[in-house]
C-alpha cells in the first residue's frame, strides 16, 4: 500500500469519527515567530493559539511531540492524552506529518529548554494526502523544485526567505520612487506593434477584433506618451515577454521597472540608480558591500563611469568598426556568427569578453547610437548614444537614456529599424501613434529600465534567475531547457 493510500485510510477514519478533514476558518492564531521570538518570563504559562503545517512527529502512546511551522518559524507542540477526551485522542492518531493543524496551548519549556506549546485544544484544518518531500530532510532536485515550487517552499526555508526578500525589494522600490514624486501607472500588456526594445515578441490573436497582437517586450512607448500628456514622473513595475533564449540570466517572462522623468536626463538617472540600489542593498543585504557567490561587491556611490568602446579595446583587444576582427574574437569562444549584423557582433563580443570583468557597480556609457534607436545622440560625441547601462556582478541590470524627443529623427530611426521605405510604414511596422505623440511635444526627459529579477538575484546571492522567479518557464514534460537553449 502506498503512503497516499494509507493517508486516504486515515482521512476516511477521521470522517467516520465525525471530524471534518478540511476545516473551516480558524481565528486567533498568532505568527509562530512572534510566540518564540518574544518568549520570556512573562510568556511562561500564557495561552497562545497558532496554526501551521506539521513537519515532525516523535513518540505516541500517551504523549507525542510535534513540530509546527508557519511562514514565520517553528514551534514544538506537546500533546498529552490526559488533555483531551477519548474521541479527540482517537482522532489525533490519524493526524500526520504534512497535515495543517490549529492549536491552543500554554507556553513553556521542556527539560531540554525548547520553547513548547502544551496543547489543550487542536483542530485539524487540512489532511495532506501526499508526503512532504524526502520526509522534510530537504528538496534538492532542481526539476522538482522549479516545477513544484510549493514543495520547494515547504522543504527549503532559505527559498522561502528569498521570495519574501523579493517581495520586500519590490515594496521598497515602490516606496522609494513614490517618495521622490513618481506616479505608478499601468499600461497595456498587448500591443498592435511591439516596441521599446530590440527583441522577438510573443504573438497572439484577438478573436472579437480579428487582430493579431503582441505581448509587450518593454514598457517604454506608453510611458513616454504619458510624459506628452503631462504626467511628468511616471513608473511601472510589470511583466514583459521576450520570445528568446533561456539561461541563468534570462527567462522569457520577467519583471521590469521602467520610469521616466520629464526635464531630467542621463545624469538624473545615474543619481537615481546609485541611490535606489544603495538603499535596497542596505535594507536587504545590510550594507553597500555585499557577497555574490564568492565575490565581495560594492554598490557605494559614486559608481565609476566606464566607456563602452574603451572597455572593448581593453578586454577584447578589438576595434569595434571591424567585422572581421569581431567575428574572429567570437570564433575564439566558439560563438557562431552567421547572419549577425555589425551591431550584434559588437554586442556579443562585449558580453563575452567585457561583462565578466564588471563585478562591482559601474555605469557603462558611450554605446554606438545604432544600439539605442529611442535614445538621444550625445551632442559632444557624434555617433554615440547619451546612454548608460548599470553593471553589477558581471550582469547588465538596466538601461537608461537621455530620451530622444525629436519626432523627425525618431521617425527616421524607426523606419530604418523596420527595414526602411514608405511600404514598411504603410504595413504598420512603425508606430505612427507614438510618432504623433512626439509631434505633439514630449519634454526633454531621462528614462530608466531595471530588471527586477537580476537585481533580486544579486541582493539575495542567487546563482540563476530560476532561483528568484517563483514559476520559471520549463520544458513541458520535464526539465528546464539547458542553459543557453532557446
pLDDT of residue 33: 95
How is residue 330 written as a grid cell?
A: 567570437
Mean pLDDT of all residues in 390-399: 97
Residue 255 belongs to some domain of the structure: yes
Of the chain, the percentage scoring pLDDT greater than 90 comes to 81
Reported as a single tens digit per residue, the pLDDT across 165-185 is 999 999 999 999 999 999 999
Single out the residue of 53, 163, 148 nearest to residue 101, CA to CA. 53
- State whether 267 and 381 are in the same domain: yes
Mean pLDDT of all residues in 24-53: 93
CATH number at residue 125: 2.40.50.140
Residue 9 belongs to some domain of the structure: yes
Q: Look at residue 292 and tell me whether its pLDDT is greater than 80.
A: yes
- State whether 122 and 158 are in the same domain: no
Mean pLDDT of all residues in 150-161: 91
How is residue 154 written as a grid cell?
A: 515547504
- Total number of domains in the chain: 2
Mean pLDDT of all residues in 420-438: 70
Q: Look at residue 58 and tell me whether its pLDDT is greater than 60.
A: yes
- State whether 51 and 89 are in the same domain: yes
Single out the residue of 152, 153, 98 nearest to residue 124, CA to CA. 98
DSSP three-state, residue 413: helix
pLDDT of residue 60: 73
Q: Tell me: cis bond preceding 123? Omega within 30 of 0 counts.
A: no
DSSP three-state, residue 368: strand
pLDDT of residue 486: 34
- State whether 369 and 287 are in the same domain: yes
Picking from 96, 131, 166, the residue at the C-terminal end of a domain is: 131
DSSP three-state, residue 420: coil
Residue 311 belongs to some domain of the structure: no
- CA-to-CA distance for 308 and 306, rounded, in angstroms? 6
Binned at pLDDT 50, 70 and 90, residue 423 comes out as: very low
**Residues paired with residue 395 on neighbouring β-strands, in sequence order:** 392
Mean pLDDT of all residues in 339-345: 91
Phi-psi map region of 49: left, alpha, beta (phi>0 left; psi -120 to 50 alpha): beta
- State whether 176 and 261 are in the same domain: yes
Residue 416 belongs to some domain of the structure: no
**Residues paired with residue 454 on neighbouring β-strands, in sequence order:** none
Reported as a single tens digit per residue, the pLDDT across 183-208 is 999 999 999 988 888 788 999 999 99
Binned at pLDDT 50, 70 and 90, residue 258 comes out as: very high
Q: Look at residue 429 and tell me whether its pLDDT is greater than 80.
A: no
Q: Determine contact, residues 303/362, Cβ cutoff 8 Å.
A: yes
Residue 421 belongs to some domain of the structure: no
- State whether 254 and 382 are in the same domain: yes
Q: Look at residue 212 and tell me whether its pLDDT is greater than 80.
A: yes
Binned at pLDDT 50, 70 and 90, residue 425 comes out as: very low
- State whether 106 and 249 are in the same domain: no
DSSP three-state, residue 135: helix
- State whether 237 and 381 are in the same domain: yes
- Residue 190: in which H helix or E strand, if any? strand 190-191
Residue 200 belongs to some domain of the structure: yes
Where do runs of H (alpha helix) occur along 293-339? 308-316, 323-332
Average pLDDT in the chain: 92
pLDDT of residue 312: 95
DSSP state of 131: P
CB atoms within 10 A of CB 71: 13
pLDDT of residue 475: 80
Q: 402 phi and psi, to 5 degrees?
A: -85, 115
Residue that has been written with the C-alpha cell 478573436 in this structure: 207
Single out the residue of 262, 263, 287, 261 nearest to residue 272, CA to CA. 261
User: Which of 139-148, 252-261, 344-353 has the weakest average pLDDT?
Assistant: 139-148
- State whether 97 and 27 are in the same domain: yes
Mean pLDDT of all residues in 112-132: 95
- CA-to-CA distance for 381 and 115, rounded, in angstroms? 67
**Residues paired with residue 204 on neighbouring β-strands, in sequence order:** 213
pLDDT of residue 428: 53
- State whether 161 and 261 are in the same domain: yes
pLDDT of residue 430: 84
Q: Determine contact, residues 202/216, Cβ cutoff 8 Å.
A: no
Residue 339 belongs to some domain of the structure: no
CA distances from 329 to 310, 340, 342, 394, 484 (A): 16, 14, 13, 19, 19
Residues in the chain: 486
Residue 344 belongs to some domain of the structure: no
pLDDT of residue 478: 59
- State whether 179 and 300 are in the same domain: yes
- State whether 187 and 105 are in the same domain: no
What is the extent of the structural domain holding 92?
A: 3-131
Greater pLDDT, 276 or 135? 276
Reported as a single tens digit per residue, the pLDDT across 456-472 is 999 999 999 999 999 99
DSSP three-state, residue 74: strand
CATH number at residue 253: 3.30.930.10
Amino acid at each position: 500500500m502506498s503512503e497516499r493510500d494509507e493517508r486516504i485510510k486515515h482521512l476516511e477514519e477521521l470522517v467516520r469519527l465525525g471530524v471534518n478533514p478540511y476545516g473551516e476558518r480558524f481565528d486567533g492564531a498568532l505568527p509562530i515567530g512572534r510566540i518564540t521570538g518574544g518568549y520570556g518570563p512573562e510568556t511562561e504559562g500564557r495561552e497562545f493559539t497558532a496554526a501551521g503545517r506539521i513537519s515532525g512527529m516523535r513518540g505516541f502512546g500517551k504523549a507525542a511531540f510535534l513540530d509546527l511551522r508557519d511562514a514565520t518559524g517553528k514551534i514544538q507542540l506537546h500533546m498529552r492524552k490526559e488533555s483531551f477526551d477519548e474521541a479527540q485522542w482517537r482522532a489525533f492518531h490519524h493526524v500526520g506529518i504534512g497535515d495543517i493543524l490549529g492549536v491552543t496551548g500554554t507556553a513553556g519549556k521542556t527539560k531540554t529548554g525548547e520553547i513548547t506549546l502544551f496543547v489543550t485544544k487542536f483542530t485539524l484544518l487540512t489532511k495532506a494526502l501526499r508526503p512532504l518531500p524526502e520526509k522534510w530532510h530537504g528538496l534538492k532536485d532542481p526539476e522538482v523544485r522549479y516545477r513544484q515550487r510549493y514543495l520547494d517552499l515547504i522543504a527549503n526555508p532559505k527559498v522561502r526567505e528569498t521570495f519574501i526578500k523579493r517581495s520586500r525589494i519590490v515594496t521598497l522600490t515602490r516606496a522609494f520612487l513614490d517618495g521622490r514624486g513618481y506616479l505608478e501607472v499601468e499600461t497595456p500588456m498587448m500591443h498592435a506593434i511591439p516596441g521599446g526594445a530590440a527583441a522577438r515578441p510573443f504573438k497572439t490573436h484577438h478573436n472579437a477584433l480579428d487582430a493579431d497582437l503582441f505581448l509587450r517586450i518593454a514598457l517604454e512607448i506608453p510611458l513616454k506618451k504619458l510624459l506628452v500628456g503631462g504626467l511628468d514622473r511616471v513608473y511601472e513595475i510589470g511583466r514583459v515577454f521576450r520570445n528568446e533564449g533561456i539561461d541563468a540570466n534570462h527567462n522569457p517572462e520577467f519583471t521590469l521597472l521602467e520610469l521616466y522623468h520629464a526635464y531630467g536626463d542621463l545624469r538624473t538617472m545615474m543619481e537615481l540608480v546609485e541611490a535606489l540600489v544603495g538603499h535596497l542593498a542596505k535594507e536587504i543585504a545590510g550594507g553597500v558591500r555585499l557577497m555574490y557567490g564568492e565575490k565581495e561587491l560594492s554598490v557605494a556611490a559614486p559608481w565609476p563611469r566606464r566607456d563602452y568602446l574603451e572597455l572593448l579595446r581593453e578586454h577584447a583587444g578589438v576595434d569595434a568598426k571591424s567585422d572581421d576582427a569581431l567575428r574572429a574574437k567570437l570564433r575564439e569562444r566558439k560563438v557562431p556568427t552567421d547572419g549577425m549584423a555589425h551591431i550584434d557582433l559588437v554586442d556579443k563580443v562585449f558580453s563575452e569578453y567585457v561583462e565578466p570583468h564588471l563585478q562591482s557597480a559601474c555605469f557603462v556609457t558611450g554605446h554606438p547610437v545604432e544600439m539605442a534607436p529611442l535614445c538621444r545622440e550625445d551632442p559632444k560625441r557624434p555617433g554615440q548614444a547619451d546612454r548608460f547601462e548599470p553593471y553589477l556582478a558581471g550582469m547588465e541590470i538596466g538601461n537608461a537614456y537621455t530620451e530622444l524627443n525629436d519626432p523627425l529623427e525618431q521617425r527616421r530611426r524607426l523606419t530604418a529599424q523596420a527595414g526602411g521605405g514608405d511600404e514598411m510604414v504603410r504595413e504598420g511596422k512603425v508606430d505612427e501613434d507614438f510618432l504623433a505623440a512626439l509631434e505633439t511635444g514630449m519634454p526633454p526627459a531621462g528614462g530608466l529600465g531595471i530588471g527586477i529579477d537580476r537585481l533580486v538575484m544579486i541582493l539575495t546571492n542567487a546563482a540563476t534567475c530560476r532561483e528568484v522567479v517563483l514559476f520559471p518557464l520549463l520544458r513541458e514534460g520535464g526539465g528546464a531547457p539547458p542553459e543557453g537553449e532557446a
